[in-house]
Chains A and B, each alone.
Chain A
């Protein structure tokens, strides 16, 4: 809100725009009413779509409204939701991180080897895995932020590199001998409810990332970098450091998601979470984040993740095969890349009254 007040004070052009002829008109006259601007956003479209799909599933999918659905739905999307948060930050700066699923796989292997083979306690093994994740993120971040390589090229390389390390460390075997206390904690529910315990760290992460992106100078800097990193640099944003931080966050959160994934399935394997990066990116773009950077908000992304979760869950219960679900998510992804432009078009649209000469 502080931006708003400042521009009102210092920029009289906001209040008065002189037309070619006639009396001066208020700037607001050129805009749609507040409800139009609030609701005609990509974020709101996605939230509305989520509501529609949810209602449709409850009405027409047998057993969707049963007691197990919410539990499994939340557990299925947990890794997606966690990683989508730092991914939003990265895409807003106009970059991308394709290596997140490989970091999850590597973290799964590290936590497995440290806990099962070296006999470390699970918190210690988990901390080690998160350190490895931070290392992976810093590796990506270094090449993107300080060597100025395109993140698409860097992270497609590390996608193969980290996955290769994960599979190489453990081969084709799986480690399954985890402390049952921890594996049951990963699938535990909150009290007597059916809500899985993993919702607690997810909400904590959401709060942290919402504050980081929407309520700090760092977050505002990310949008500026996405618009134009040169002007961002000249307006005092430390571009390289910001990018480095986003990639490190991505690595750390991916590693945490990898630990959860490992414990949920009681299974440490190099090929865990293969291909998850596509779903994460689909969810983020579906949530209204512009692939070119500079635009997006976390409430849209959260709705995007939930939408993908609800659609896959409902379709699976309808007996639709994985292939068809992937086709639908692929089409949604393409549609979501197009919607910002459609929405922008709608927002620009106004009834023709009379020609205005500048």
Chain B
């Protein structure tokens, strides 16, 4: 004992004495014991929560791309409405930044908690796949909404809009507002955006087939940059003095075009429509520069995703093509190819309903 004390005394600092190491080992042993002790009671818990997927103790986790994003706040509201209707608990978790690695933590946590279903708007098509598949291995069905992952790492994808639906919807909007005849131009995002080009191609086909009186005179690209879209609108109006309408199937483009028109002598003469968000477009709809524009309704998207998650969690469907399920106020839906469920045609926002939305 004496020598031990002597040695200890001369240690100037507590750097890494054998004693500290022994202490640490002892604590580690205590930890292991504690964790083993906890295991028995805990496993029972896990089975209680994760095992059954029926009745009111069903729980669903929603993982949007990021928290605090108004668009996903709206879809969260829809999810909340649905889970209240079928009586399940809903937890909405997500990262602060829209990165896939931050989503993985939340997927893992949901898997640990033994949730009955996960609904996720993926930040990357493949990066979250490993985590999602691990969750599916422990029996948790996965529904993607808004942005999909690879089809082999989820059970269902709730698609907000089909390309055909968007193209058709845009033309209906513009045709209504210019009286079925006239000259229109498209203000797109970038020249190589696959979505935009697909929509434009479909619009051209649709124009040829069903709108003989409407002529598409120009397609310009604002690169989804506010200033460039603004300048492109100005150039468009200078080079085509007899233009009747501008269709901009991108949220940046439609807002920039509306801002240009609102401050120019063309206000009220040129029709602006396309895909936009209510918050960006509110002032132009209120001032009458824009009559109506389209987008899907994110509340309905969240609502449908929650019902889809409920349907797979309860075993009502297994995500095979042709399966049908009931989605509350939206009615019956059918699962399409690759487990896709289509929300429906784009939703039209105008002066009457724009105040109901905040995203």
Contacts and interface: CB of A to CB of B under 8 A. Distances in A.
Contacts of B324: none
Interface in B244-291: none
Contacts of B159: none
A267 B99 CA distance: 10
Given A55-B34, A63-B113, A66-B114, A322 B96 contact: yes
Nearest to A275: B97
Given A4-B7, A63-B112, A316 B105 contact: yes
A272 B102 CA distance: 10
Interface stretch (A36-44, A117-125, A162-170): A36-44
A55 B38 contact: yes
Contact of A321 (B19, B42, B67): B67
Interface in A22-39: 27-28, 31, 33-34, 37-39
A38 B5 CA distance: 12
A176 B17 CA distance: 46
A27 B9 contact: yes
A266 interface: yes
Interface string B1-45: 000111111111111111111011001001100110111011101
Contacts of B127: 174, 176, 265-267
A295 interface: yes
Interface stretch (A46-54, A95-103, A327-335): A46-54
Nearest to A30: B9
Contact of B101 (A37, A72, A261): A261
A214 to B, nearest CB: 4
Main secondary structure, interface of B, reads helix
Contacts of B99: 269, 271-272, 274
Interface string B117-148: 00000001111111000100010000000000
B34 A54 contact: yes
A176 B27 contact: no
Instruction: Give the size range of A's interface with the partner.
Output: 35 or more
Nearest to A347: B14
B14 to A, nearest CB: 5
Interface of B: 4-21, 23-24, 27, 30-31, 34-35, 37-39, 41-43, 45-46, 49-50, 67, 91, 93, 95-97, 99-101, 104-106, 108-109, 111-114, 124-130, 134, 138
Given A47-B24, A265-B127, 14 more contacts: A3-B10, A28-B9, A38-B14, A51-B30, A58-B34, A63-B42, A63-B45, A65-B35, A187-B134, A223-B13, A267-B124, A267-B127, A316-B105, A317-B112
**A-B complex: 10 closest residue pairs judged by Cβ atoms:** A65-B42, A58-B38, A267-B127, A214-B16, A65-B38, A72-B108, A176-B126, A66-B46, A4-B10, A316-B109
17 contacts: A3-B10, A31-B9, A34-B4, A43-B14, A44-B23, A62-B113, A63-B113, A63-B114, A65-B46, A66-B42, A72-B112, A265-B101, A265-B104, A266-B130, A267-B127, A316-B109, A319-B91
Interface of A: 1, 3-4, 7-8, 14, 27-28, 31, 33-34, 37-39, 41, 43-44, 47-48, 50-51, 54-55, 58-59, 62-69, 72, 76, 174, 176, 183-184, 187, 210, 213-214, 223, 261, 264-267, 269, 271-274, 295, 297-299, 303, 313, 316-317, 319, 321-323
